[in-house]
Structure 1
């Protein structure tokens, strides 16, 4: 089905194709770790104070780099939230780790930090924090636990670019952090990611892993006269074509964030019952949602909604049950609007049922609630234009 208002539409900042052409015609290097890679990595290091950045082909690859870098061994344990994307756990399961799942908070999808310490054993190697919706999880409490028990802390900040905890950028707190530049993220290059190394002990080895287990980067810097295989690794570098695209997005980061904030706040104001007049086109969209929501639940106040801002990555509703959510999805579909739910709890996955049957038997009620009842609404830069196409409203 074609939707007049899709869930997502990748934003084009304007210079993507000019920079791709520049990379292809003028720079003589397209395979990664070239001019645009250095520009983008320097941007992140200077703007957010990340110690060292490595652009990768995906956030999944960045997580897999982290697992190799931490030397995860068969039988070691890694603590991970159940309500997250499969890559958060899969990267460590690939190295033979047992995944220990934590429930979500009662009122928010981020993990419940008070549950973690009782799960730490002699086999625990690392804790993985996920900043759902770009909103900070209890990362400082997790850092204190990691320090207390001599564990590694990884931030899965896939959704959290340009998010902060007070004045501290998310992704700057863990030993290692990962980001996504998938087309659904605030800034994107179709598909891409980044590993952030905040602990200087890991910088050199991260570079080896990033370059297929070789010291090739040192060779290109003229530090050695030949390069060779020195460690484990894989083909993690992001192509200069993708990175050139990403640079165009970074140039418009503040503009992108401002637009997403405007749309996010229009959602929040309506669902809060506030009467502030938003701009015309998002208001029409929200009135359409109001009509649909009342048809499903009658009293809109029975539906809770996201109240934390973060980086305005997504906006969601939380229904009382899965049937109510599905009814609303169908109502929106009939109006040409695609709204989608999110993760299925990993502890209830088919893989875990086979690999870790004792974990499959766990009851993590909050994570299961979010899997059954959370619904994400469309949120992307050009949302008003999609509405004008559907309803013939002039800009």
Structure 2
């Protein structure tokens, strides 16, 4: 029984919508399908303006431009995140300031943020790991007190909430990913959620190579010209057509994934009680989207040995981030504001299990059986 780590889910409408885009003959960005995706995102999240991008990386890069960051400005973020979280701001000359994570959710430890604020701090970038919300109330309190912007890296957070509010809409700006590995996909793709009305027009300009093209097509200006810095951040209509099929089925996709997540959680309950592993934590006020299911292995085990045993049984598993503070670029461009004990520990012990729509009870039972037998064998010989 070969079980892949990920299997992209298709709703059945993707090809139909792509064919329609082909029929319409407009394949560049900001066509009918892009507009429908924008409408869906704005209605679903309540953000002021949604703008499709060709990746979440692009959305974060747009956010960094919108904040007018200058060389030497500091941006507080976790080290336990994908490189794009830091890279987007480093490209503007800013300095990532890394803060340790919580041991339960693996999100940035909100209790450590304020001590990391300096006279050069301009923004906080919480990363909603595994689609589970950071403690945004405290982060917003700190941001307000110190006049800082908040950019939510909600790459994994589509359809997740914090106290009932969609992730990506709580801070000034949010960023989504629709990469093939996410819940709702477009192959490659992302979205910028602009929550401050005063940033909307400039966001549109930055996204359109620094021109006011969007205002021209709305009839606000009689011609469009170069207004600001920017780049080509738009996805084409083929991507938007595929994405629309996924967005329209997002509720169902989330429900199906949650059922798989819940079954893992039930199957592994006794193993956690026995001390064989640690299961994920989801606070009661966080509505998650079942983006991933992971376990933390006992510290005495070599994770690669566990993964090798699973691979022998045709079960594909992966680990996750190499912390940015320990990377060559992270050490060159950024700095750590706290000890990184929790980050280092979690990074060394985390093991992500297969989770995708269509995974069966039988497959999950097999995965858990192989996982637990491998752990027991390595512990007891």
Report the TM-score, using the length of structure 1 for normalisation: 0.88
- Tell me, in whole angstroms, the C-alpha distance in 2 between the residues paired with 1:254 and 1:141: 29
- Tell me, in whole angstroms, the C-alpha distance in 2 between the residues paired with 1:386 and 1:50: 40
Deviations 1:191-217 (A, max 9, x none): 100000000110000000011100111
Deviating more after overlay: 194-203 vs 361-370? 361-370
Decide whether the 8 Å contact of 1:56 with 1:237 is kept in 2: yes
Provide the aligned length of Structure 1 versus Structure 2.
Answer: 362
Decide whether the 8 Å contact of 1:4 with 1:387 is kept in 2: no
Matched, 1:14 2:29: no
Corresponding position of 2:105: 108
Deviations 1:290-320 (A, max 9, x none): 8xx9xxxxx9533101132611110000012
Corresponding position of 1:162: 159
- Tell me, in whole angstroms, the C-alpha distance in 1 between the residues paired with 2:66 and 2:106: 28
Decide whether the 8 Å contact of 1:5 with 1:386 is kept in 2: no
Corresponding position of 1:46: 43
Deviation at 1:322, TM superposition (A): 7.4
Deviation at 1:385, TM superposition (A): 10
Corresponding position of 2:342: 366
Decide whether the 8 Å contact of 1:349 with 1:360 is kept in 2: no
Report the TM-score, using the length of structure 2 for normalisation: 0.91
Alignment of 1:195-210 (within 5 A): 195-210=192-207
Over aligned residue pairs, what C-alpha RMSD do you find? 2.1
Inter-CA distance 316–51: structure 2 relative to 1 (3 Å threshold)? same
**Matching residue within 205, 208, 213 for 2:210:** 213
Runs of 4+ in 1 over 6 A off after TM superposition: none
Inter-CA distance 84–163: structure 2 relative to 1 (3 Å threshold)? same
Corresponding position of 1:311: 289
Deviation at 1:219, TM superposition (A): 1.5
Deviating more after overlay: 330-339 vs 313-322? 313-322
Corresponding position of 1:276: none
- Tell me, in whole angstroms, the C-alpha distance in 1 between the residues paired with 2:274 and 2:292: 20
Inter-CA distance 17–75: structure 2 relative to 1 (3 Å threshold)? same
Q: Give SS of 1:305's match.
A: coil
Corresponding position of 1:137: 134
Corresponding position of 1:277: none
**Matching residue within 75, 79, 97 for 2:72:** 75
Deviating more after overlay: 216-225 vs 366-375? 216-225
Deviations 1:265-307 (A, max 9, x none): 110001113xxxxxxxxxxxxxxxx8xx9xxxxx953310113
Corresponding position of 1:375: 351
- Tell me, in whole angstroms, the C-alpha distance in 1 between the residues paired with 2:338 and 2:197: 38
**Matching residue within 35, 55, 65 for 2:62:** 65
Deviations 1:61-103 (A, max 9, x none): 0000000011111000000101011100110011001110010
